[in-house]
Chain A
Amino acid sequence: MSMNNQGRPTGIGTSSFASSTGSALLPNEPLLFEIGDTEHSGVDLPDVTISGSRLGGFERRMPLDLAGLTEPEAMRHYVRLSRLNHSIDSGMYPLGSCTMKHNPRLNEKMARLPGFADIHPLQPASTVQGALELMEQLSHWLMTLTNTAAVALTPKAGAHGELLGMMAIKAAQEAAGQGHRRIVLVPESAHGTNPATAAFLGYTVKAIPARSDGTVDVQAVRDALSPEVAAIMLTNPNTCGLFEPDVIEIAEAVHEAGAFFYCDGANFNAIMGVVRPGDLGIDAMHINLHKTFSTPHGGGGPGAGPVVLSQALAPFAPVPFVRKGAKGLELVEHAQGEALGRITAFQGQMGMYVRALTYMLSHGGDGLAQAAQDAVLNANYIKARLAHAFSVPFGDCPTMHEALFDDSFLAGTGVTTLDFAKALIDEGFHPMTMYFPLVVHGAMLIEPTESESKQTLDHFCAVMEELAADAKAGNAERFTSAPLKAPRRRLDETRAARSPILKWERPEETLKAAE
C-alpha cells in the first residue's frame, strides 16, 4: 500500500470484492471504490503550480478520497456494469404508462452537433439563432399536434410540467380574483404525481371514483364541482389504457364551474396525430418528450415535459420563451405582469428538444399518426390474444395503447402479480407495470408501444400464455422463487429501508461505526 502526500493510504480497494467473480457473460462487478484508488487517473492534465492563489483562505483540507481508474479500467468497469441492465435495445420493455419505444440513434447524433451541444445558455441571442429557431419549430409541432395556443418548453420532466401547468392555473385564477379556489379534483386512477403536485401547491385533493368500466363519470365530476374547485387533473387516455368517452362533457362542466382542465399527457402516444387534446377542451397538458417523442429514458432521466396551454392560460406561461424581434429571434427572459416567472435556470432541456424534433421530422405528421395507431393496434392485439387466459377488468371494449389485466386469473394459485412479473424476467422480458393503476386489483399494465413487431408480440403472448397455464397448473414454485436467471435473485428491500446504506464506506469505517 502506498501513501500519498497527505500521509493517507491510497489503496481504496480492500474488500473481498476486489477481484471480479461471476460467470460467462454475467459479471459480478466490484464497486468503483474497491478497484480504483486515489492515485490512478484516466485523464492526462498538466500539474500546474499556483503562485499567490486567490482562494481567500478557503483551501480544501478535507480529503477528497475519490477513487480513480485509468481509461481501460474505466471502460471495463462501466461496460461490465451495463451488462447487468435490461434495455429497450436488448428486449421488449412493456412497462405500462412508460412508453418504452425505440430510441433512434439519429437523435443522438444530432444532439451532439457542436452547434447544439457546445452552446451556452447565456450566449448573446445573435449567436444562437439556430437554437431559438429549433425551439420555435418544436413549439409549432407541439401546438399543431394538440391544437393549443401556446407551449412552455422549459419543464425538466413530466412532473415538473404538471407543476408548471398547475402554477399557471393558480396564477390565472389569482389574476381573476378567484384565488379562493382551493380544491383540485383527481380521479382515483391518476398517477401519484397528480395529487402530489396539487398538494405541493397547497391545494386540497378530492378523489373522483372510477366507474365500473374504468372511466370517469361526468355526473361524479358535476357532483364534485363547486365554486371552491380550481381544476380537475385528468389523464386521457387514462391509466387503465382507456379513452375517456365523456371527456368533452367533463371539460364543459369544469369550465361552466369556472375551473380549469389540466390533462396529464403521459399517454399522448396513443393519440398523437389522431386526436388533438385542444379539441377536447383541455387548458393545459404536459407532454413527456421521453415517452411520446422517443428521447431516451437513460436509466431514469433526464426527461422533458413541455406544457401546451389554452388561450386562457397562455398569458401565464413562464419565462424564458422565444419571440420574433427586430433583430431576429429573441428570448424573453423576464416575467411581465401576472406571469408566474421562472421554473428552472436557463432554457430547459435543449438536448431533448433536438432529439424530439429530429424524431418528429423523421416520422412526419403521417408517421406520427401511424405510430399512434400501431401502438393502439399492438395493445389490442395483446389483449385479444391473452383475454382467454388472463382476466380483463373492464370487459370487451377496445383499449388504447395499453392492455390492462387484473389478478383474478391467479386466484387460488398462490402466485401474486409480483411473482408473475418476476417469472417473466426469467423468460427474457422486462415485466409490465404492476399494481398500477390502484383501481384494479393486482394490476398488470402492458404497453407494447408501436416499436414491437408482430413476431415479438406473438412470442411475448406465447410466453404469457404458457406462464398463466403453469400458474394455474399449480407450479407456484416457479413463480415464487423467480427470478432464477437474472444477475440477482429477489432483493431484500425491507432490509435496505430499515437500516439504509446509501454510500460506500471503507470496511474498517463500517466496523468502527458498528462498535
Chain B
Amino acid sequence: MRYLPHSDHERAEMLGVIGAADIDSLFSAVPKRALKSFDLGLPAHSPEFLVEAHMRALAGKNRAGADGPFFVGAGAYRHHVPATVDHLIQRSEWLTAYTPYQPEISQGTLQMLFEFQTQVAKLTGMDVANASLYDGSTGTAEAVLMARRLTKRNKIVLSGGLHPHYRDVVKAYLKDDTDLQCLSASPEGQGDILDHIDEQTAAIVIQTPDFYGHLRNLKTAADAAHAKGALLIVVITEIVSLGLIEAPGAYGADIVVAEGQSIGNALNFGGPYLGLMATRKEFIRQMPGRLCGETVDAEGQRGFVLTLSTREQHIRREKATSNICTNSGLCALAFSIHMALLGEAGFTRLARLNHARACKLADALAAVGGVDVLNKSFFNEMTIRTSQPAAALVERLAARGILAGVPVSRLEPDDPSVANLIVLAATELTTDADIAALCAALAEELA
C-alpha cells in the first residue's frame, strides 16, 4: 500500500522492541467479540490509475458549469478563480499545516489570517472580523446566538428575504424556540420586518441583496432596531456585491455575516465554503470563532498569535461562546489571495462587470413573453415569474442544456405563491450568447 512506509520486516522488528508477540496483542483492551470479528466486504487497495478512473467516471455523470449556459445562484455563485490562487493554496506549507497553535512555526498562516481579518473588516465596514466560520448559514445561526448573549433578550425576527436554507439552519439551532419569528417569503422585496421589533427583540436579521435579489434598506432597519435596543444582523450571500453596494457598517449594522465562497472558492456542490463574520469592537468577546491578533516575540519582533481564546471551547468547555473548534482556513486563504490579486481596483471592476451582466440579463428576460422580472433593484441576481410552474420548466431547460436558475419551490415547497418563481444569477462568466440561448429557450417553452 503506497501510503504506508513499513515493510513486514520492519513491523516485526518494531513488535520485538515493544515486546509484543503480534499486532493483535496491542489491541488486547478490545473485547474479543468486537476485534476483527467481521468481513467488511469492501474492495481491496487499488492502484492510482484505477482510483482515478473510478472518480472520473462519477465526475463525468455531472453537468459542470462550464458545459453550457449557467444561471444558478441563490447563495453560491460561479465566478472565475485565478490560476494563481489554486496553485498557491496547494503549496504543502498551506495545505498540510494544522491550526496555528504553535505560533513560532505558524507565522505564515497567522499573518495571512490577520490580513484576511483586515480585508473582511474593510469590505463590510465593520471594526473587527474573525478568522472565518464554516459557511454563511451556520454563521447566521451563530450571529443570532451572539445577539442573544449581547442583549440578554430572546426574540429574533428573520426577514422574509433571508435565504430559506439559512432560515432553516437558524430554526434547527433554536429548535422549538417560540421566540423565533420567521416572516413569510417576500419575493417582491416588500419590507415588513420593522413592525415586528419590540422591547423584547434581541435582533432582526436582514439579507441584502436578499434571496430574491432585491437590495434592502439597511439604514431604516438599523435605526428602527436601535430605537428599541435591538441589534441589526446583516446577511450577505454574494460578497462581490460589496464592490458596488454600500458597506453594512456605514448604515450601523451590529453584526455582519456573509458567505465568502464567491471569492477564491469553487462551487464544489455546496462546500467547503467560507463564513465571514464581522462586528463592532465592543462585541468581540461575545463573537464565536478564532481570532488572530498582533503581538511581539521575545526579541520585540512583530508576530501574530491566536488570541482571546478564553471565549473558546478548549479553554472554557461548557461555558464557551460556541462549540466551534475550527475555521475554514484554506478557504480563507483562497479568499485572501484572490482579494489581494483583485485589490480595490480589480474588485470594483469585478462588481461592475457582474452588475452589467445582470442588467443585460434582466432586460433580455423582460422582453420574453410569459416572463415578468420582479426586481426594481438588484446586484447580480433577480427573480422572474413565469407563466408556467417553475420546477418543471427548469427541468425542461436543463434537458436542453441550459441551467436556468433555481425554482423557488425547491426551497419553499409548502408555499404555493412561489410556484412560478425562478431566481437567476449572472456573473462575469455570463456571456451574451448564454443570455440569448436562455431567452430563446424560455420563449419556446412558454409559447
Indicate whether A200 sits within 8 Å of B413 (C-beta atoms), given known contacts A54-B362, A68-B341, A347-B269: no
Distance in angstroms between the alpha carbons of A108 and B94 in the assembled complex: 13
A367 B272 Cβ-Cβ under 8 A? no
Task: Tell yes or no: A85 within 8 A of B by CB.
Answer: yes
Task: Tell yes or no: B90 within 8 A of A by CB.
Answer: yes
- Against A, the Cβ 8 Å flags (1 = close, 0 = not) of B293-325 are 111111101111101111011111111101111
Distance in angstroms between the alpha carbons of A233 and B399 in the assembled complex: 48
A43 B342 Cβ-Cβ under 8 A? yes
Please, which residue of chain B has its CB at the minimum distance from the CB of A295? B272
B341 A43 Cβ-Cβ under 8 A? yes
Distance in angstroms between the alpha carbons of A299 and B109 in the assembled complex: 6
Which residues in A have their C-beta under 8 angstroms from that of B166?
Answer: 345
Distance in angstroms between the alpha carbons of A443 and B11 in the assembled complex: 28
Distance in angstroms between the alpha carbons of A242 and B345 in the assembled complex: 56
Task: Tell yes or no: A306 within 8 A of B by CB.
Answer: no
B169 A344 Cβ-Cβ under 8 A? yes
Tell me the residues in window 208-225 of chain B with beta carbons closer than 8 Å to chain A beta carbons: 208, 214-215, 217
A144 B269 Cβ-Cβ under 8 A? no
B322 A196 Cβ-Cβ under 8 A? yes
Indicate whether A451 sits within 8 Å of B5 (C-beta atoms), given known contacts A68-B343, A87-B95, A491-B104: yes
Contact partner, A350, options B172, B269, B308, Cβ 8 Å:
B269
B163 A345 Cβ-Cβ under 8 A? yes
A90 B92 Cβ-Cβ under 8 A? yes
Distance in angstroms between the alpha carbons of A83 and B247 in the assembled complex: 35
B90 A108 Cβ-Cβ under 8 A? yes
Contact partner, A279, options B34, B132, B215, Cβ 8 Å:
B34
Contact partner, B394, options A66, A124, A195, A493, Cβ 8 Å:
A124
Which residues in A have their C-beta under 8 angstroms from that of B268?
Answer: 111, 116-117, 119, 350-351
Which residues in B have their C-beta under 8 angstroms from that of A141?
Answer: 42
Task: Tell yes or no: A163 within 8 A of B by CB.
Answer: yes
Task: Tell yes or no: B447 within 8 A of A by CB.
Answer: no
Distance in angstroms between the alpha carbons of A195 and B318 in the assembled complex: 5
Which residues in A have their C-beta under 8 angstroms from that of B186?
Answer: none
Task: Tell yes or no: B151 within 8 A of A by CB.
Answer: no
Task: Tell yes or no: A393 within 8 A of B by CB.
Answer: no
Please, which residue of chain B has its CB at the minimum distance from the CB of A501? B294
Please, which residue of chain B has its CB at the minimum distance from the CB of A352? B272
A62 B247 Cβ-Cβ under 8 A? yes
B17 A381 Cβ-Cβ under 8 A? yes
B379 A55 Cβ-Cβ under 8 A? yes
Min CB gap B422→A, angstroms:
11
Task: Tell yes or no: A257 within 8 A of B by CB.
Answer: no
A364 B97 Cβ-Cβ under 8 A? no
- Against A, the Cβ 8 Å flags (1 = close, 0 = not) of B109-146 are 10110110111011101001101101111100000000
Selecting from A34-42, A217-225, A307-315, A466-474, the interface stretch reads A34-42
B123 A66 Cβ-Cβ under 8 A? yes
Selecting from B19-27, B195-203, B226-234, B433-441, the interface stretch reads B19-27
- Against A, the Cβ 8 Å flags (1 = close, 0 = not) of B9-41 are 011011101111001011111110111111011
Tell me the residues in window 76-92 of chain B with beta carbons closer than 8 Å to chain A beta carbons: 76, 78, 82, 84, 86, 88-92
Min CB gap A317→B, angstroms:
12
Task: Tell yes or no: B52 within 8 A of A by CB.
Answer: yes
A367 B51 Cβ-Cβ under 8 A? no
B323 A374 Cβ-Cβ under 8 A? no
B93 A82 Cβ-Cβ under 8 A? yes
Tell me the residues in window 21-71 of chain A with beta carbons closer than 8 Å to chain B beta carbons: 28-29, 31-33, 36-43, 45-50, 52-56, 58-62, 64-69, 71
B103 A364 Cβ-Cβ under 8 A? no
Which residues in A have their C-beta under 8 angstroms from that of B173?
Answer: 343
Indicate whether A82 sits within 8 Å of B345 (C-beta atoms), given known contacts A370-B4, A502-B128: no
Distance in angstroms between the alpha carbons of A488 and B263 in the assembled complex: 31
Tell me the residues in window 373-388 of chain A with beta carbons closer than 8 Å to chain B beta carbons: 373-374, 376-378, 380-381, 383-385
Task: Tell yes or no: B384 within 8 A of A by CB.
Answer: no
Which residues in A have their C-beta under 8 angstroms from that of B108?
Answer: 81-85, 299
Please, which residue of chain B has its CB at the minimum distance from the CB of A32? B115
Please, which residue of chain A has its CB at the minimum distance from the CB of B94? A82
Contact partner, B318, options A31, A205, A385, Cβ 8 Å:
A205
Task: Tell yes or no: B178 within 8 A of A by CB.
Answer: no
Distance in angstroms between the alpha carbons of A466 and B186 in the assembled complex: 69
Which residues in A have their C-beta under 8 angstroms from that of B183?
Answer: none
- Against B, the Cβ 8 Å flags (1 = close, 0 = not) of A93-113 are 101001010111010111111
A377 B29 Cβ-Cβ under 8 A? no
Indicate whether A53 sits within 8 Å of B266 (C-beta atoms), given known contacts A128-B63, A300-B290, A488-B297: no
Which residues in B have their C-beta under 8 angstroms from that of A187?
Answer: none
Min CB gap A504→B, angstroms:
5
A-B contact pairs, 28 of them (CB 8 A): A37-B343, A39-B345, A50-B352, A60-B243, A66-B342, A69-B340, A82-B88, A84-B105, A108-B90, A115-B56, A121-B75, A122-B72, A122-B406, A131-B58, A133-B61, A134-B58, A156-B135, A156-B272, A205-B317, A300-B99, A342-B169, A348-B271, A364-B42, A367-B45, A398-B28, A400-B26, A488-B104, A500-B293
* Nearest 7 A/B pairs, CB to CB: A68-B343, A115-B59, A298-B330, A346-B270, A130-B61, A56-B377, A365-B42
Given A47-B352, A147-B38, A357-B55: 10 more A-B contacts, CB < 8 Å: A55-B355, A83-B108, A84-B108, A85-B97, A102-B3, A115-B58, A119-B65, A298-B331, A302-B331, A365-B42
